[in-house]
Amino acid sequence: MLKHYPSKNLGYANHGWLKTKHHFSFAQYYNPSRMGFGALRVVNDDLVEPDSGFPPHPHRNMEIISYVRSGSIIHQDSEGNKGVTKAGEVQVMSAGKGIVHSEYNRSKEPLTFYQIWIETNSQNAKPRWQAKPFPRKEVTRELTLLVSGFQEDKGSALPIHQEARIYGGRIKKGVEIKHTITNQAYVLASEGCFDVIIEKPMQKVVMQKGDGLEVTKTKVIYLKANIDSELLIIDVPT
């Protein structure tokens, strides 16, 4: 089953230095029917202006993933971690028993990134942070596995404390990809326009930049790019 959430229908906030769209209830945006999707609690589509960002603030027992689409983000935390994550890279912070961190855009261009929160399955773990670049070239067979909490994916993807996976990639116009889902999935249209199709029952949704899509009660979807596109798939337990 496919349930489409067009970008124009998402929650929105303009803080001047930060413009953000909320796929689920967050901060001042509250929608009782959009409190999360299984273990997926937050998806914010953020635009941070140059020389601004999030000052030090705490987190606890949450897996926080940042997928940088343009610009760069500087991370620093109370565990002594510090690094710069650039466009085409992903960072993961496991907040665990408690961590304080800041994230700033110190470049001269806007920073755009997805901020994704996934509920942990391991309470009060030791906090950790890690970032990793992934191939930016178009994929033709399968999306790249970016983040995973499964033991069999250790070493090939950034680790989290949850049996979830995040895939991403760019698909050139006309390319069609078959994708298998473990649990249920939330699809994000980062760029372009593409179709998401299921066969039983037959259903098709056209995804435009900024849209979200819930995929439930099916194990296989087909992705077909109508123009050059970029997307993420967040596969999470119910």
Spell out the residues 6+ positions from residue 152 whose beta carbon is closer than 8 angstroms to its own.
none
Beta bridge partners of 225: 194
22-72 confidence digits (pLDDT tens):
999 999 999 999 999 999 999 999 999 999 999 999 999 999 999 999 999
Q: What is the dihedral of CA 27, 31, 32, 35, to 10 degrees?
A: -60
The overall pTM is greater than 0.85: yes
CATH of domain 2-236: 2.60.120.10
Sign of CA dihedral 70, 60, 188, 157: positive
User: Which pLDDT belongs to residue 135?
Assistant: 81
171-218 confidence digits (pLDDT tens):
999 999 999 999 999 999 999 999 999 998 899 999 999 999 999 999
In this predicted structure, the answer to whether residue 137 has a pLDDT above a threshold of 90 is no
User: Which pLDDT belongs to residue 200?
Assistant: 86
Q: Which two tokens stand for residue 8?
A: 């124009």
User: Which pLDDT belongs to residue 110?
Assistant: 96
Q: Where are the domains of the chain?
A: 2-236
- What are the distances in angstroms from CA 29 to CA 22, 111, 141? 8, 22, 38
**How far is the C-alpha of 21 from the C-alpha of 114, rounded, in Å?**
10
In this predicted structure, the answer to whether residue 136 has a pLDDT above a threshold of 90 is no
